[in-house]
Homo-oligomer: A and B are copies of this chain.
Amino acid sequence: MKTTLIKEILVSEPDGRTVTIYGWVRTKRETKNLVFVQINDGSCFASIQATFDRDNGLPAEIENELKKITTGASVQITGKLVPSPASGQAVEVNASEVTVLGEAPAETYPLQKKNHSLEFLREIAHLRPRTNTFGAVARMRSQMAFAIHSFYQERGFNYVHTPIITASDCEGAGEMFQVTTLDLERIARDGAAAIAKGDTGVDFSKDFFGKPANLTVSGQLEAETYAMALSRVYTFGPTFRAENSNTTRHLAEFWMVEPEVAFHDLHANMDLAEDFVKYLMKWALEKCAEDMKFFDERIQPGLIKTLTEVANADFARVTYTDAMVELEKNAAAFEFKPFWGCDLQSEHERYLTEKVYKRPVMLYNYPKDIKAFYMKLNEDGKTVRAVDVLVPGLGELIGGSEREENLEKLEKRITDMGLKIEDYWWYLDLRRFGSVPHAGFGLGFERLLLYITGMGNIRDVIPYPRAPKLADF
């Protein structure tokens, strides 16, 4: 069974040769003498039309199959590929054979022709990729993932799989998922007796890893270990936050891209981030034109213009301190009053990109107190070499920094932040042995997809979203 994808057939010469198409029926429509069936196989946005001509009567077996055809049925149709008289399609199939492979009874199949709400479709996440919107999202997700790999592979980066489960305490900031093979009901049953004997009631030495283990919140620290050997690396994998946020912007499980580069400072990091964002925008616009047209027309009008502008912009490079001057000028307009030392809110980020600089902004040199311990301290002693990339219409898309490569300074930062030096023994080794200036950043893949597709809810750009009380499928 060798199949040809509908996307290939749609761009073929309509030279009358015989083709067989496989897919799912989107619509069936009948006139007096003609039956039109639209078939989609998900290989592209467009469906192909198969036409059955009753002018000279159709064989009974074809009429029998046509009766079974409803929206969602799977079919195999053979016929001649001919020019289509209909507008909006170059070719169609003048059908001579049809087999219904699997029916989709109209009375039970949830995806009828009518428009469904995104909320409803989330409940049938196993069927939603069969709709126009989620088919397009799925193709964009695949395309953008490959764009990411292509960008880094073309530039001599090595892809590193950093660990998902980790017993390392490095990552600090709580909100982690615990991974265990302990029997919780047994702990409940026997715990009190153990505690009575002076134990904690939870014997982690019997757990799979012999100690508490968690799901990673970032691959950065491990990626740094590989950058210190291979010079240019990137991660692209799932990360986890057990944050109890039921919003359109948070997921408990999401994918992150984290390049890390040796012999690289903050400004080189900004060059890389700008190149990366533009490359992604161009990939979306050029390689996904058909799906982008749909998003632009039906999901977020103006989307293509926005992405095109980003692709062609010179990103502004502005220090946090300079940006704060601009924000304070406009303090009255903000719900959250900006002041030097505050973390920027989405309203501030969007004001900078949309009103002040009117293009993407790379904001750098943030106050050290609102940033992570590993960011390189500037000579002013107050700011660190962090950079966030802000884009119009969204706000922060990327966050990164040059890393502190000096052993003593890094140890001091760890201690000052109340963390334990001994938890960082291997991370500090990178500064003990052949330390080099290095930098990197992280891009949340679903945030990128929200931006590129114009979808409004992050749960709609990942196949099976995970959030509080949500882990079905």
Contacts and interface: CB of A to CB of B under 8 A. Distances in A.
Contacts of A187: 184, 187-188, 191, 201-202
Interface string A418-462: 000000001101111111110000000000000000000000001
B209 A468 contact: yes
A5 B232 contact: yes
A60 interface: no
Contact of A229 (B8, B76, B129): B129
Interface in A26-76: 41-43, 72-74, 76
Contact of A262 (B22, B157, B200): B22
Nearest to A145: B159
Nearest to A221: B473
Given A180-B178, A255-B161, A201 B226 contact: no
Given A22-B262, A436-B101, A231 B466 contact: no
Interface residues of A, number: 126
A339 B23 CA distance: 42
Contact of A149 (B103, B146, B263, B436): B146
Interface stretch (A210-218, A278-286, A324-332, A357-365): A210-218
A181 B184 contact: no
A14 interface: no
A463 interface: yes
Contact of A127 (B160, B242, B429, B462): B429
Contact of A209 (B102, B126, B232, B466): B466
Max chain B C-beta neighbours (<10 A), residue from A7, A194, A201, A263: A263
A165 B253 contact: yes
Contact of A188 (B76, B181, B200): B200
A115 interface: no
A311 B473 CA distance: 38
Contacts of A433: 72, 102, 104-105, 108-111, 127
A1 interface: yes
Contact of A104 (B142, B165, B168, B434): B434
A129 to B, nearest CB: 4
B101 A435 contact: yes
Nearest to A21: B263
Contacts of A247: none
A153 B165 CA distance: 29
Contacts of A158: 42, 138-139, 141-142
A179 B181 contact: no
A224 B250 CA distance: 26
A163 interface: yes
A324 B83 CA distance: 54
A109 B434 CA distance: 9
Max chain B C-beta neighbours (<10 A), residue from A1, A125, A160: A1
A118 interface: no
A195 B238 CA distance: 37
A473 B164 CA distance: 11
Interface stretch (A264-272, A377-385, A392-400): A264-272
B267 A1 contact: yes
Given A159-B145, A213-B471, A195 B189 contact: yes
A405 interface: yes
A372 interface: no
Contact of A179 (B141, B163, B178, B427): B178
Given A138-B158, A142-B158, A187-B202, 7 more contacts: A1-B437, A3-B263, A42-B158, A101-B437, A142-B159, A160-B463, A213-B471
22 contacts: A1-B437, A7-B156, A24-B434, A25-B434, A41-B231, A43-B156, A102-B435, A105-B433, A111-B433, A129-B226, A129-B230, A130-B228, A138-B160, A141-B158, A142-B153, A161-B238, A163-B253, A163-B463, A164-B253, A168-B472, A188-B202, A209-B471
8 smallest A-B Cβ distances: which pairs? A188-B201, A188-B191, A102-B435, A42-B230, A129-B229, A192-B192, A167-B471, A142-B158
Interface of A: 1-3, 5, 7-8, 22-25, 41-43, 72-74, 76, 101-105, 108-111, 124-127, 129-130, 134-135, 138-139, 141-142, 145-146, 149, 153, 156-168, 177-182, 184-185, 187-195, 200-202, 208-211, 213, 215, 222, 225-226, 228-232, 237-238, 240, 242, 244, 252-253, 255, 262-265, 267-268, 271, 405, 426-427, 429-437, 462-464, 466, 468-473
